[in-house]
Amino acid sequence: MSADPAEISVKGVLPTANGCAVFLGNDEKTFIIYVDHFVGNVIHLTLTGAKKERPLTHDLIGHIFTGLDVRLDHVLINDMNEGTFFARILLRMENELGRKLIEIDARPSDSIVLALQQHCPLHVSRNVLDRVEDMTEVLERVLTQQAAGPPPETDDDDDLPAADPDAEDDEDEDEDNAPDEDDDKENDEAPPDENDA
């Protein structure tokens, strides 16, 4: 099996009780990263092409890239440790001073938004893809349920593995247009391994 990173895409964003489940994957496998409500909403808005009244943080970053003549080359979800995912964004800069490729550590959730906004490839390392649980059937079941209409008095996230509430990122999103979530934090989590229970 190839050790090269695999290209993936966002297959869906599903609201959960504590945030959003972002389904990522390809024909081989689908996996979930849990993010806060704000970033989940931004990913959804970006996927649907919805217009925003004011630029959000990710829009500002994109404008800075444009102003500095920097291009987002690609995003790589490169590691997973105790249920938390890690990512790198790779920036390409070419100007009169030369060419430079810069690699920056970033949260996967922010990296996903930037990749979608900048129309650049999203990759996952083979090491991560091999270790995550395949959630393809769960996604298909959820999409089928959504197409049929919501079942009476049930939560959409009943089929999802529970997110680990202790695996939280220490950054808060501070946005004027953010949903009314006072203490909502990003946790870019993998679903817990059922064997750990």
Go through the domains of the chain in sequence order and give each one's CATH number: 6-196 (3.10.690.10)
Helix residue ranges per DSSP H, 17-135: 37-48, 57-67, 108-118, 126-131
- Tell me which H or E stretch contains 24: strand 19-25
Spatial distance between the Cα atoms of 132 and 155, rounded to a whole number of angstroms: 24
Q: What is the pLDDT of residue 177?
A: 45
Confidence bin at 14 (pLDDT 50/70/90): very high
pLDDT, averaged across the chain: 81
At residue 190, the 3 state secondary structure works out as coil
40 or 187, higher pLDDT: 40
- Once rounded to an integer, what is the mean pLDDT over residues 137-157? 75
Q: pTM of this prediction?
A: 0.72
**Choice among 17-31, 84-98, 176-190 with the minimum mean pLDDT:** 176-190
38 or 193, higher pLDDT: 38
104 phi, psi to nearest 5 deg:
-125, 135
Confidence bin at 159 (pLDDT 50/70/90): low
Q: What is the pLDDT of residue 98?
A: 79
Confidence bin at 55 (pLDDT 50/70/90): confident
